[in-house]
Amino acid sequence: MTSQGRTMADWRRRTVSNGSIDLAVFELGDESNPTVVLVHGWPDTHHLWTHVAPAIAAAGYHVAAYDTRGYGETSAPDGDAPYRLADVATDLFAVADAVSPDAPVHVVAHDWGSVQTWEAVTTPGAEKRIKSFVSVSGPNLDYLSEWARKNLARPTPANLAKAFSQLGSSAYTGFFQAPVLPNLFWRAAGRPGLWREFLHRIEGTPKDNVVLGDTFTADTISGLRYYRANIRQKLADPEPRPTKVPVLEIVNERDVALRPTIYDYTHTHAENLWRRNSSTGHWLPYTNPDYLVATALDFIDSLEGRSGNRPATLDRARVLSTPGKLTGKLAVITGAGSGIGRETAYALAERGCEIVIADLDFDSAEATAINCKALGAQAHSYDLDVSDVAAFNAFAATVAAKHGVADIVVNNAGVGLGGSALAATDEQLDRVLAINLRGVMTGCRAFGRQMVERGIGGNIINIASAAAFTPQKGLGIYAASKAGVLLFSESLRAELAEHRIGVTAICPGIVNTNIVSNTPLAGFDDDAVEQEHRDRLDSFYQRRNFGPEKVARDIVAALEANKAVAPVTPEAKLGYRVYRFTPWLARLMARGDILR
């Protein structure tokens, strides 16, 4: 819905009084249904929820959105004092009592709406009136002050970087608290057309999605009183209080104002906390309303016992310890029954991901899943032949239906082939290309389509090889398959960039896994001679002693940094540079025979 006329016409308006404050409340849906209260922030009004409220109402809820004090059709008392959080939090309780007198309400709040809802849910006894809280881009200011103090009390480079990064992102709040100038600025700049253009440029928000009220310019100025009344006081004298209300934090990783790390300590105060991280921006209700609705309903429905056959996604979002960047993500890994795939599953499990493990050998996949569970992760095992395109596509559909859309996909399954390219059989060539190249392409396409449709980004990791850029006599077919993975990954990265989906090619060198012991060598008529050469090569890899756990560590680092190409092992890093800057040397070195 992008037309204000079409969506606003269905609202039912009422006025709720809280002392001298008259609150304009707008409702949708059957009042006998559980109630969801929507609370906006700066510089919005209830219009912020134009694309959210109808969808929540259609899901069987009574929805109430209100203009907070100082905005829209609600009272705007003079001065800054009436806008202190302790006072505006009482407005939320007044609305809740009016629209749902007999049952506690669910709250979804954004920006300063979320800030004031944090004040409400940390009020003693709040759980009697508020059943749940979905927080979007609005921290608890007491917790934020605590976070800043902890980082500055231990001024390590990492902690200082976090503190100064957030300081830079929120520098505008200092200007907003200055006298006179911000009012003059917004009197000139607070125009609906300029605001729509700003949101479009800063995070790609469709201009037609931004629905603003007639009071927008006045609201931008009036809302500055929230900054003046609260920020300095809360940062100077924080009082972090606990809450028993179940809370879902939606953390937008591309938020221009708030860095994800500021939420690190929420779990120490919120007894029941869930967290969703996504590659989204600050104005989620305008830019990705469908994602916000789906995520909020997942949470609210679970508390109402309405989840039905929906994929169980909330369990992995539960926060029990300090969250990381990958906490609550769903990771799918092929070829995870052994080697690099298995160690990557362990590394992601330790970082709070739910793991889907696929392997041609189901027993080995199950063993990996059992070990992931021992690390505290949810894990599921599947048998999968990645060379079977139909089976791979069916697997991707099953994952989405049972576990949700994957946030991370690691296309790791692969096989080796050594020996003469001319001597290799057609069957050997077809098998290598079907698994190493076509299998990767199938995985990228099947899961990539799901990520694009969901619209909140993701990451695809493709395991290539240093052979992709290190030509070697005796590895031509294998190297060609991995070179295809590398170039496909870089091309796909460009294609998916607009969807905030990162694609990374991992290029390991000599790694001690079981792939060598299972690698056929073309050109040997005598099985014993072939085995002798294979054993010699395997022995060399074992002496090299670069284990798959080290590759997994680098995979996680590349994932978190969203690298395009990540050579792994010293020889891979050297080979990458040699091939880029002195390709003639790489071609000369390729004449050496690795099988002798």
The reported pLDDT for the residue numbered 578 is: 75
Tell me which of 563 and 536 has the higher pLDDT. Answer: 563
- Report residue 323's pLDDT band, with 50, 70 and 90 as the boundaries: confident
Mean pLDDT of 141-159: 91
Average pLDDT, the chain: 90
Identify each DSSP E strand in 227-383 by its residue range. 247-252, 273-278, 330-334, 354-359, 379-383
Mean pLDDT of 196-200: 95
- Give per-residue pLDDT as tens, 337-395: 999 999 999 999 999 999 999 999 999 999 999 999 999 999 999 999 999 999 999 99
Identify the CATH number of the domain defined by range 330-588. 3.40.50.720
| Of 112, 160, 158, residue with least CA distance to 136 | 112
The reported pLDDT for the residue numbered 538 is: 47
Q: Inform me whether the pLDDT recorded for 471 exceeds 90.
A: no
Range list for CATH 3.40.50.720 in the chain: 330-588
Given the residues 226, 478, 576, 579, the one annotated as active site = 478
**1.10.1040.10, 3.40.50.261, 3.30.450.20, 3.40.50.1820: which CATH number matches 4-317?**
3.40.50.1820
Range list for CATH 3.40.50.1820 in the chain: 4-317
| Residue 156, CB-side half-sphere exposure with 13 Å CA sphere | 5
Please indicate whether residue 478 is annotated as part of the active site: yes
- Report residue 463's pLDDT band, with 50, 70 and 90 as the boundaries: very high
The reported pLDDT for the residue numbered 308 is: 75
- Report residue 191's pLDDT band, with 50, 70 and 90 as the boundaries: very high
- Report residue 520's pLDDT band, with 50, 70 and 90 as the boundaries: low
Tell me which of 574 and 123 has the higher pLDDT. Answer: 123
Mean pLDDT of 424-428: 92
CA–CA distance, 140 with 262 (Å, rounded to integer)? 10
Distances from the Cα of 435 to the Cαs of 33, 428, 551, in angstroms? 52, 11, 20
The reported pLDDT for the residue numbered 595 is: 47
The reported pLDDT for the residue numbered 540 is: 44
The reported pLDDT for the residue numbered 1 is: 35
The reported pLDDT for the residue numbered 547 is: 82
CB atoms within 10 A of CB 476: 20
| Six token digits for residue 311 | 């994929």
Q: Exposed, middle or buried: residue 20 (CB in 10 Å: 0-12, 13-18, 19+)?
A: exposed
The reported pLDDT for the residue numbered 473 is: 80
- Report residue 592's pLDDT band, with 50, 70 and 90 as the boundaries: low
Distances from the Cα of 384 to the Cαs of 238, 390, 439, in angstroms? 53, 11, 11
> Could you give the percent of the chain with pLDDT greater than 90?
74
- Is residue 20 within 8 A of residue 31, CB to CB? The reply is no
The reported pLDDT for the residue numbered 525 is: 58
- Report residue 3's pLDDT band, with 50, 70 and 90 as the boundaries: very low
- Is residue 524 within 8 A of residue 559, CB to CB? The reply is no
